[in-house]
Amino acid sequence: MPSSASTAGGSRRGRLSRSGDFERVYRHGRSRANRHLVLYVFPRPGEQADGPPRLGLSVPRRVGGAVERNRVKRLLREAFWAASERLRDGQDFVIVARPEAAALAERDGLAGIRGALEQLMVSGVVGESSRAGGESDAA
């Protein structure tokens, strides 16, 4: 059933699910962090480089119980896919929620999570400086 695999942000293809994919992004990707989130970005190699961005989430138990973790994951997915139009194809993203993310989600909801994620996206990991060719925005 194709419709059950669809989400607001795209199909299940838009998600990282294999541990090897997560490991590659963690080991070889670039990262930025704030007190709420850590964002890892890595360009996909070879023929996979043409596909749309893919997202992986890691929300550890330190964030809270299952209800809190699921809420944080839902908000992270929604915030990420809302910003995905500005992202280049062929990149994998992993977002790791820190324990403070649960308090942010409770206090500010989607707007708070979106703000924390936007802060990381505009700070250089996702912008023009993340191109594989080594281009930089710095003057």
pLDDT (tens place) for every residue of the chain, 139 residues total: 343 444 444 445 689 989 999 999 999 999 999 999 999 999 988 777 788 899 999 999 999 999 999 999 999 999 999 988 888 888 999 999 999 999 999 999 999 999 999 999 887 666 543 333 333 333 3
Q: What is the dihedral of CA 88, 39, 26, 20, to 10 degrees?
A: -60
- pLDDT of 132 reads 39
Residue 96: inside a domain, yes or no?
Answer: yes
pLDDT given at position 50? 80
Report pLDDT for 125: 61
CA distances from 94 to 12, 25, 29, 80 (A): 15, 7, 9, 10
Residue 22 backbone class (left: φ over 0; alpha: ψ -120 to 50; beta: rest)? alpha
Report yes or no on 132 lying in a domain: no
Q: What is the pLDDT at residue 89?
A: 87
**pTM, whole model, 2 decimals?**
0.80
Exposed, middle or buried, 26 (CB in 10 Å: 0-12/13-18/19+)?
Answer: middle
CATH code of residue 50: 3.30.230.10
The reply to whether 139 falls in a domain is: no
**Which two tokens mark 57?**
């989430």
For the chain, the helix, strand and coil percentages under 3-state DSSP, each to the nearest 5: 55, 20, 25
Q: Which residues form the domain of 51?
A: 13-123
Q: Hey, which residues does 95 pair with through a beta bridge?
A: 39, 57
Q: Tell whether 128 is covered by a domain.
A: no
Residue 111, domain member (yes or no): yes
pLDDT at 29: 92
Instruction: Give the pLDDT of residue 105.
Output: 96
Is 5 a member of any domain?
Answer: no
Q: What is the pLDDT of residue 129?
A: 36
Strands 10-11 and 30-33: unpaired
Domain count, the chain: 1
Cα separation, 104 vs 83, in Å, equals 19
Report yes or no on 60 lying in a domain. Answer: yes
Domain membership flag for residue 113? yes
Count of alpha carbons within 13 Å of 28, Cβ hemisphere only? 13
